[in-house]
Amino acid sequence: MSAVGRYLEEQGIPTVQISLIREHTAALKAPRALWVPFMLGRPFGVPNDAAFQTRVLKSALNLIARVDGPVLEDFPEDAPPDRLGLEDHQLVCPVSFPGPGRDGSIAQRLSDEVAQLTAWHELSVLARGRTTLGVTGASPQELVAFIVSWLGEDPQRVLKDPAMAPAVALKFATDELKSFYYEAKAMQPGGHTSDSILRWFWLETCAGEAFLALRKRLGQETDPSFKGLATLSMVPRVVLAML
């Protein structure tokens, strides 16, 4: 989108975009962008909150007047809590996960964690009528096997498409597994915000532990595409500040 924006600007058409991954937008130098601290797939926050979504849209459109680009502004609000799990289904069964350092390999613990979340994700799809999963064509458990293989000595170099570059396949896999977690957690009771889900994922789950280990592993790769994945997109800047 940043490249398209620059092309349109050259034709005299002002552009603005909403960014969900700040590091990408900063690196690509979009003409104008508003970064929002929301989960992937939700550039305007939670569903059915027209007032909040309007504030996001107006904040983005206000950047059109800026001519000192590249402009990258941060939206100052977190998304409101998602009430789907409370209002539509009255769910009360929490899911608890073993913390980092418990017995068992990271592959087994991650697989168990995904299994515990599967029912919540299925309920999320039922309630919303959609999901952001599906790009890789792999199930969550297949994503786990693929991602964990990169922490060993013999990583799988492709996911489903043998023509897909390894770094691209790994990015799609990590993005999709993260979305699985976020969508499942948002369905659980408790009025979760984007910030609380982000903290939960990175600080409390085995998936967060695995992603941080993978980031360290990829930083040792000689292929620059892997280094870019490790430094720009796998772990958000705000998460690194928490650690």
Upstream peptide bond of 81 is cis (omega within 30 degrees of 0): no
Quick check: is 79 in a domain? Answer: no
**Total domain count, the chain:** 2
- Of 74, 102, 120, the one marking the end of a domain is 74
pLDDT score recorded for residue 86: 45
Structural domain including 164 reads: 84-242
- Of 48, 74, 100, the one marking the end of a domain is 74
- Cα separation, 34 vs 28, whole angstroms: 14
- Output the tens digit of pLDDT for each of the chain's 243 residues: 666 777 788 888 899 999 887 877 888 888 899 999 887 677 898 777 899 999 999 999 999 999 887 899 999 988 776 655 444 444 444 444 444 445 578 889 999 999 989 988 988 888 888 898 988 888 999 999 999 998 886 667 667 677 788 888 888 999 999 999 999 998 887 767 888 888 899 999 999 999 999 998 888 888 888 877 887 678 877 787 787
63 and 93, same domain (yes or no): no
211 and 154, same domain (yes or no): yes
Which of 42, 52, 47, 113 has the alpha carbon at shortest distance from 85?
47
pLDDT score recorded for residue 90: 44
pLDDT score recorded for residue 207: 94
171 and 55, same domain (yes or no): no
33 and 70, same domain (yes or no): yes
pLDDT score recorded for residue 181: 94
189 and 236, same domain (yes or no): yes
131 and 215, same domain (yes or no): yes
130 and 35, same domain (yes or no): no
Quick check: is 208 in a domain? Answer: yes
- Cα separation, 227 vs 133, whole angstroms: 25
106 and 208, same domain (yes or no): yes
- Of 74, 96, 112, the one marking the end of a domain is 74
User: And the tokens for 167?
Assistant: 């770094």
pLDDT score recorded for residue 158: 61
138 and 171, same domain (yes or no): yes
Which of 223, 133, 127, 113 has the alpha carbon at shortest distance from 175?
133
108 and 52, same domain (yes or no): no
CB-CB contact of 22 with 236 (8 Å): yes
Which of 209, 234, 201, 173 has the alpha carbon at shortest distance from 117?
201
Q: Write the DSSP assignment of 185-199 as a string of letters.
A: HHHSSS---HHHHHH
Which of 54, 60, 12 has the alpha carbon at shortest distance from 36?
60
93 and 164, same domain (yes or no): yes
Quick check: is 95 in a domain? Answer: yes
CB-CB contact of 197 with 223 (8 Å): no
212 and 119, same domain (yes or no): yes
